[in-house]
Amino acid sequence: MPPRPRLLDALRVKPGGRARLSNIDPGDTHGFNEARAREQAAKHLARLQTLQEMLFAERRHRILIVLQGIDTSGKDGVIKHLSKALHPLGTRVAAFGVPTEPELAHDYLWRIHAQVPGNGQIVIFNRSHYESVLVERVHELVPKKRWSRRYDHINDFERLLTDEGTTIVKCFLHIDRAAQLERLRSRYDDPTKRWKFNVGDLEERKLWDAYEAAFEDALSRCSTRDAPWYVIPANHKWFRNLAVGEIVTDTLAGLGLEYPARDDLPKNLVFS
Ligand code: AMP
Ligand code: MG
């Protein structure tokens, strides 16, 4: 049997191409069943753990993982999954909510740039600068004249980061309306999930089509060779976790990470 295509290649939005979400099935599992997906996902986590240790030891590369997706698409779930492999010493999560007063007093990339990873670090963005062409566009928080210029800013900003040694992986968690409805209902019904329930999410849900159009533009205009977008079919949590884990692991594996040789240490050191 020929090896299956890597999800890294299968799910990438081709730079310069047009992402059409209606053509991408959120329930797709790329031939995996749940048992095999979980088994494979565990293997990726084991590799990821070693790769991150090398990354941290080398302090040469910086990794930025951007998670976007509509409410309940599973951004927190993906973070929980990746955390099983990632050592807290070299990892940070930055969540971006409604901008504060001081944040609003600056350009929209100010709070973002302050959170990017340093050498040896992995930073996961739970929402990101993309909110400035998503929620701000959908709710007309800024006029079209302003948000429409932001795609170019974002590409320039991301190129600055990649030119200076940051590797960027951007995952859009793709669910459908029915899956969201079920998840919102279950958040409301289940006492262990109710703390996450937000009545406002039901209002946001009414803007589904506007969000979809905004996501498609962001995915299409800002998937670049060095900072690609991946569309993750996310109706099945087990496939979503497998896919993000595989993409992150394969991306790190492609960096040629190694444990530092430490040639600076004296040879033949005597231990007594
Ligand atoms: P959550 O991720 O559920 O904690 O919610 C964070 C909220 O912050 C979401 O409703 C986002 O739409 C909102 N948010 C994030 N970034 C922005 C932004 N730039 N402008 C306005 N709202 C934002
Ligand atoms: Mg929310």
Ligand nearest to the CA of 138: 1
Alpha-carbon span 267 to 191, nearest angstrom? 61
Q: How confident is the model at residue 152 (pLDDT cuts 50, 70, 90)?
A: very high
CB atoms within 5 A of ion ligand 2 belong to 71
Distance 11 CA to ligand 1 centre (A): 26
Structure tokens belonging to residue 145: 């004249």
pLDDT score for 4: 84
Give the residue, by CA position, lying nearest to ligand 1 atom 12: 135
Calculate mean pLDDT across residues 39-50. Answer: 98
Indicate if the pLDDT at residue 1 is higher than 90. Answer: no
154 φ, ψ (degrees, to nearest 5): -65, -45
Element (H, E) at 81: helix 75-83
Calculate mean pLDDT across residues 222-250. Answer: 98
127 lines ligand 1 (CB under 6 A): yes
Ligand nearest to the CA of 111: 1
In sequence order, the 6+-apart residues with CB closer than 8 A to the CB of 45 are 81, 84, 85, 245, 249
Output the CA angle 160-127-173, nearest 5 degrees. Answer: 105
pLDDT score for 205: 96
Maximum Cα–Cα distance for the chain, whole Å? 71
pLDDT tens digit sequence for 171-180: 999 999 999 9
pLDDT tens digit sequence for 98-118: 999 999 999 999 999 999 999
Give the residue, by CA position, lying nearest to ligand 1 atom 4: 97
Q: What domains does the chain contain, in order, with CATH numbers?
A: 33-253 (3.40.50.300)
Calculate mean pLDDT across residues 243-272. Answer: 96
Buried b (16+ CB within 10 A) or exposed e, 138-150: beeeeeeeebeeb
**DSSP line for 179-200:** HHHHHHHHHHH-TTTGGG--TH
pLDDT score for 114: 98
pLDDT score for 3: 80
- The whole model's pTM is what? 0.97
Indicate if the pLDDT at residue 2 is higher than 80. Answer: no
pLDDT tens digit sequence for 50-64: 999 999 999 999 999
